Every structure is written in structure tokens, then in C-alpha cells.
Chains A and B, each alone.
Chain A
């Protein structure tokens, strides 16, 4: 497996693609991200991230919803791949491991 390099934004996009299951395309991903992050996500940035994820093989894309409308625009759906899930898992476990090493006193500090 290639060396893991997953940016924070890419990670969020990848997670969202996974969450949305069969209905992940530009607009839905954008909306989901925006409602989670409480801030605007531009399509340009989103496409960039999706493309990098596709290059790394963590998402697949398929085409659907071709219309007769001008320009024959099409809906591009994204699915998370096996490797994508693995990458998320790896990031998560790494995070968990690090989190677990935070001293208990600091965690309790939060609840005090």
C-alpha cells in the first residue's frame, strides 16, 4: 500500500463520500460538508479534492443521469473504494492511538 497522505479536507470529503453511499456527487457532497462544517465549501475546491482522491485510488467515479440538455451534462457519482476505507481506518486508528496517549488528567480537565 502506498504511503498514506491524506489532507484534512480530503479526509472530510472521503468520509462524506462514504456516508452518502450511492448518492455522492458534487452537490450532495457539498451540501453535506457545509452542514457538517458550518461553512461554505466551493465546488472548485471540492472537485480538486475529489480528483486527488481518485488519483490515489480511494474513490471511484461513475457517470449517471446524462440528459438531453445543452452540453449533455452528466452527473458524476463518486464511491469510496476498499483502499479508501482502509485509508480512513488507518487514519482513524492512528488518531485514536494518539488520543489514547493524552494523559488522563488532561481528559478530566475537560469534564471538570
Chain B
């Protein structure tokens, strides 16, 4: 509208609808009435309401026209549509193999697309269900070391309240801490809970938790109360209305149920099933809630509507400077706080110590790209097959044109055909994907399902179908409707058509296949490298035992001793963490050190048999010795540390330990991987210290009997938790599970991609042979051998595949080598995978084309030449 004073106009959309759907007579009458009503409504009810009523009336007119038996006034397109549909179906019936080829290819592509996008959109849906999701932020911190900085989700106790008091734009702030694997007693049954969350009651204001019974905010204010999820209530009591029932925490502390809330959706970064009051539990556990340098808590804030997170983030260093007396700052470390939108938390894999494992978003994007590629390849098939077949349909098109069909008629005819094909493929794909989904969901370890009840799902599906129809059908439609009818129906229909585009598309298809295959091969090799690489420690027969039970608090050494006596146990030891993932760090320090040498180093406390258990090799000096009392303060370094310090003779040198005491270096171990293989081996110091332990045993002989004996020992300590253990091998494999999964998925997808490409090639080859059948016949008659013919046909495809490989090779090289860079320890990129890929392409393409080539080369020229 040009100005506010111009007369209001009825909605154009309604007019457009009427014009395109009603016959002329009907339309003009209706428009008169509609307009008069509109003018009247503008005066009596205002412009907006008038427009709305206009639209409503228009729709009612169309509805009555089409569904209430006045269809003689409906416009032609519908009738034309029916006609076109019939023609399309007849056409399909005549060319069944062509249709099948297309539907299979498209259905495969769509199946892959549906599966992958279900997976990725599930991942991207994390935490979006919270009503205020766009205003909720997690506070995380950056620590600046001397050389590096790292991110950490842990925040100090006083942070939340300070933010709330200092900044008016913060509406609510809440702290979280969690206690894993706790024993709860309810209804005289005991349950081991994987996680219990201690929170500030304002959590209920920040997150959308639907309360079923009770009042959490009131009740969680202070004291021994607990809020539980519906499923926990059902598990404990068999019904959900359990407010005021009692649950015992660790069998000792009675907690009153104050509220029952609806289960949080599974696509949440953290799922709270049992919630207790933060202040109360932390006071009970004597946690220091005022210390700015103790960071075991998570802080989430809700911003007021319209306030800027970026502006707030800029002000966060102020409060750190104001409140925290930063003793670490003197050592050159400092902390900066940042805000992270709730919906990004799931992808924050660069931030350590989150509540749940984060996922690498770029990996999901890689999957999305693969899904698009596979879909695109299926679409290319359609374009190729359709344009190739255009030659066959030249006559049909020509006659239609001469009979008076105009370009738009033909266009819609061809688009309806592709639409039908897409529809058929979509239905097939949906059934296929629905069948495969459970397997796929199990594989990616996510509870995936298609939301068949959701209208948006169908809307998206319809939209996808439309997009594919137009993307793949538009060019063939234009191409096929462009023929000059005179040429088309004359028997000399030998006008030139360019196969450049088609060949280009085939090259693109095979190029993309090549990239996928190459990536899959290298991924597989890297993964098997990880499996077999010498990490410097053994994982075989190593079992990690659970020791979280209170029963072992002060009896751990007795327990270890008794396990050590079990037959089949080779070694027993504890360490602060598994050798795969050493997390404690400190700064290297020794008498007379200069500041430049103060590097970050990792640290792990172990018991004597640690080296024996994990078969870690001592390079120099010796391991800890039970007999030598002074070993309590001894230090063992790894080679990386010695190298970093620049020491020539490490044995016997003094170092200052974290607690300030001095210790002597008694040995150097051969470097073993203390982190993921993605990282370089860092300097490490190993000391004797049995606290905060991971208990491991290495067993020999029959695993079952040995574990049964260990369980007997365990039970003799009368623990409240059941006996639990895990294999180190499994833990190790899990650390690389995501990468392994990517490798396997890429392999599967690249296989599918090449199958789709071959389907297209098959169709093209059959077409090409059909077009040249006479030429080949003549050649044969003139004395060409079957081999000559085969060579002739084969050459074309060899050229295509070679071109494809030539453009794909460098791209694949770039992608793969940058992926390998992620790993500090990786395989070298040799020519072998490239050669293998090329051979695979030739093999697939050759087999596909070969069938037609063979048929053409052995056929009797009499048959191909007789009908002229």
C-alpha cells in the first residue's frame, strides 16, 4: 500500500485464488458481492477484520464450488490435471523399467535423506522445548594458562546470586550440581540412581518443567525435600500422586517428596529425575559455596525479555574483578566468564566438564551434506534419464504441439509426471525409512522416531516432494517441450541434442561418489589404526571395578589386598583416572626453576602395581617399590616431560610437588597416550597416592570364574550397592565411538551413493546402446568384431569415470587430510586409497555398462537392421 490514506484493498491472495479456481461467470458475480461486503465491513468493522472476512468468504465460495457439487463452475485446470494424470500413468505403464529405475534411485536417496535428517534434526532439537529457551544461558568460563587456554563448564558457588544481584537484566539464576549413583530407599525397596541433581528452586522458573502434583518452589526452598519426575514416582510407588511420601537418601537421610513433575524430554542436555535443594545438600556435604575458586557447579540464567546477552557478557569480567580474590591470577592465570545459549550447550564439545557429553555439530553438518549429496545424485539420475528419454518421446510431444497444446500445457504434463514419480518414491522411501529406523536409531544410539501424527512432518514431506519435483523435473520439462514439432514428427527427427550436460552430471555423480568412497576408506583405516596403535598401555583383560560404596571408604586397601589374592588376578591398582584420560594438571616446578620453564603438566596419583597392571614400560630408573618408604614422595615422569624440561639426567632430580613438598624423580616411563589420540602426548608426573581412585584389576585365565571370585570378596564387605565392573577395552572403544560411527555411516552412505549413480548409469547406457543400435549393426556387418564394439561403447564411460576421478581426487585429498589433521596421531595419506577408489569406480561403472555392452556386441545385426 502506497500511503495510509489510500482506500483499503481486499487481500490480493484471495482474489488470486478466486481467479485461478473459478470460472469467469461465477467469478464476476462473486467479486461484486465480495467487494460490496468488503466496503461495508471496512466501515463497520475496520480494515483488518474486513480483509479477514473477505478471505474467509472467498474460501467458503471455493469450498462450496469444489466440494458441494457446483463443479460445472470450477475452472478447467482441474479437469486438465485429471487428464494429464491419466496420460502420465499410461506412460508409466508403458515404460515400467524406466519408472522402476527412477523410483528405486529416488527412493534410496530419499530414504538416506529421511534417516539422516531425522538424526540431525533430533540432535539440533536439544533443549528447544523450553518455553524460554532463547533467553536461557549457561555460564561457562575460560581459563588462561601460560601457553594455552581452555574452557570449562564448572562455575563457582557465589556466581549465580552475584549475577542476579548485580545485573537487572538477569531475571533468574540457578546453580546445579549432581551426585551420581546414589542409593535411594523408597517403599522399602532400594534403587541406585545414576544422577541426582541439587538445584536452586528458581530452576522451576527458568526451565519449563510441568508440575503434576505439589509445589516445588515452595517446598524446595530449604530443607530435606525432593522433587521427582513422573517416571521415578511410577518406579518407586507405582503411581504419580506421591507428594509427602518419604524417600531415604543413602538409606540415612529421609527426604519428603514435595512435587512430581512431568519427565523431561530425552532431547535435553541434562535430564533431571530427582531434584534436591542446592543449599541444603551442599551445606550437608560441607561444600564451600562462597569460594570463587572452587568450580564444581553449573550456573544457568534466564535473561529478561529484550535484554542482550552480548552486552551482559561484556560486563562479566567486572564481577570477577570485584568479588573474587584471584590468587591464581598472580601466577598468570585468570578466569573469564562467558554466556552460552541453552540450545548450543549440546554442541559445546570444546567446553570441558559439561553435565552431559557434548556433540560435535560439524559432524552433524557433514551428515547433512552427505544426505544432500545422495539426494542430489538421485535427482541427477532423474534429469539424466528424463532428458535421455526425451528422444523417444519426441513424436508424442510433436503431435501434442500440432494438436494445439501450448508450452505451459506440456510443461505441466511433464511436471506432473515427475511429481508422480517423486510421490511414488517418497511413499516407498517412507516405508523403507520407517523399517530401517529402529536399526539406524540403535546404531546412532538415539531414540529416533518419525512423528507421523505431527502435521508439520507431513507438511515438510510435501514441501520436500515439491522441491525435488521442481528441481529435477523443471529442466527435463523445458527440454522436452522445446522441440520444433515439424522436426519432431518427421521421421528424420535427427536434430542435435547436447549430451554435454548429461555427461557433466554423470561426472558430477561419480566425482561425488569418489569423494565419499575415498573418505570412507581413509576413515576406516584411521579407525583401525586407533584400534591397533600402541598406546603405551594394555587394555586386554583389564577390568575396572566400581568402588563408590561407602563400605570401602576406609577399607579400600584391605579390599585391594584380598582381590590381589584371588586366583587369576595378575595385578590390582588404583589411579586417579584411567591412563586414557588423565585430567589433573599442575605446573612443573623445581628448585631454581626459571619462569620460562613453568609449563603446564598433567599429574596422576597411582598405587604401586599401576605400571605392572597396565604394562607401562619403564624407560629409565625404576617403578615405585613397596619396600622403599621414601617412595611416598617420589616422582616418575614421562619422556615428554623430560624432553619439555630439557633435562639430560632426570633420575635423582628434585621437584616440588603440588602440596609444596619436595620429591625425587626415581624413574621415567615410556610415553603412553594420556589423552585421546587426537592430542599430542603431554608432560606427565606420576606420584603415589591412593585417593580418588579408579580401581582396576588385570585378570588372566577364565574371566567368568575370576570375576565370580572377586564378586565374592566384594560381597564379604557387605556393600549396599550391587557388584559392578566394566572392561577397559569397552571404555576405550567408547571414546572413539563417534568417530567409528562416522566412519561406518560414511561407508554405508558412499556405497548407497555409488549404487544410485550406477542405477542412473545403467539407464543411460541402455539408452545410448538403443540409440546406436543401427550404427553398431552396420559396423558388425562391415566386419567389426564383438570386442571392437565393446571397446567402442566402453571407452565413453571410461572417459567419464576418469574425468570424475580427476576432479574428485584433489577435493577429497583436501577434505581428508584436513580431517586427519584433527588427530595428532594418524595414518599417512598414501596413494593406495586413491587407486582403490578409482578401481572401485571402474568396477562399478564397468559392470553397469558392461551388461548393455555385452548385449550389443553379441547381438545379431540382422535384428537391428531389418526394420528400415
Contacts and interface: CB of A to CB of B under 8 A. Distances in A.
Interface string B64-81: 110011100000000000
B28 A47 contact: no
B427 interface: no
Contact of B28 (A27, A44, A48, A71): A71
Interface string A16-29: 00000000011100
B68 A48 contact: yes
Given A48-B64, A48-B70, A51-B70, A43 B33 contact: yes
Interface string B116-130: 000000000000000
A47 B32 contact: no
A51 B60 CA distance: 15
B119 to A, nearest CB: 45
A73 B68 CA distance: 24
A76 interface: yes
A47 B26 CA distance: 9
A86 interface: no
Given A71-B27, A73-B28, A47 B64 contact: yes
Nearest to B69: A48
B37 A30 contact: yes
Contacts of A48: 64, 68-70
A74 interface: yes
B36 A27 contact: yes
Interface string A33-50: 000000000111101100
A44 B64 contact: yes
Contact of A42 (B27, B31, B57, B70): B57
A25 B36 CA distance: 11
Contacts of B27: 71, 73
Interface residues of B, number: 26
Given A26-B29, A73-B28, A43 B63 contact: no
Contacts of A45: 60, 64, 68
A26 B33 contact: yes
A56 interface: no
B31 A47 contact: no
A30 B70 CA distance: 19
A26 B70 contact: no
B455 to A, nearest CB: 24
Given A27-B33, A43-B34, A47-B61, A74 B28 contact: yes
A91 to B, nearest CB: 23
A71 B20 CA distance: 13
B201 to A, nearest CB: 50
B32 A26 contact: yes
B62 interface: yes
Contacts of B59: 44
Contacts of A72: 28
Interface in B17-47: 19, 26-37, 40
Interface string A55-74: 00000000001000001111
Contacts of A74: 28-29, 32
B33 A44 contact: no
Interface in A53-108: 65, 71-76
A43 B57 contact: yes
Contact of A47 (B37, B40, B70): B70
A75 B30 contact: no
Contacts of B35: 73
A27 B69 CA distance: 22
A44 B29 CA distance: 12
A26 B40 CA distance: 13
A73 B19 CA distance: 12
A47 B28 CA distance: 13
Contacts of A44: 57, 59-65, 68
A47 B74 CA distance: 13
A98 to B, nearest CB: 30
A74 B68 CA distance: 24
Given A42-B57, A48-B68, 7 more contacts: A27-B37, A27-B40, A42-B61, A43-B61, A44-B62, A71-B27, A75-B32
Q: Sort A-B residue pairs by CB-CB distance and give the 10 closest, nearest first.
A: A26-B33, A44-B60, A44-B64, A42-B60, A73-B31, A44-B61, A73-B32, A76-B29, A73-B28, A48-B64
10 contacts: A27-B37, A43-B30, A43-B34, A43-B60, A44-B63, A44-B65, A47-B30, A47-B61, A74-B32, A76-B29
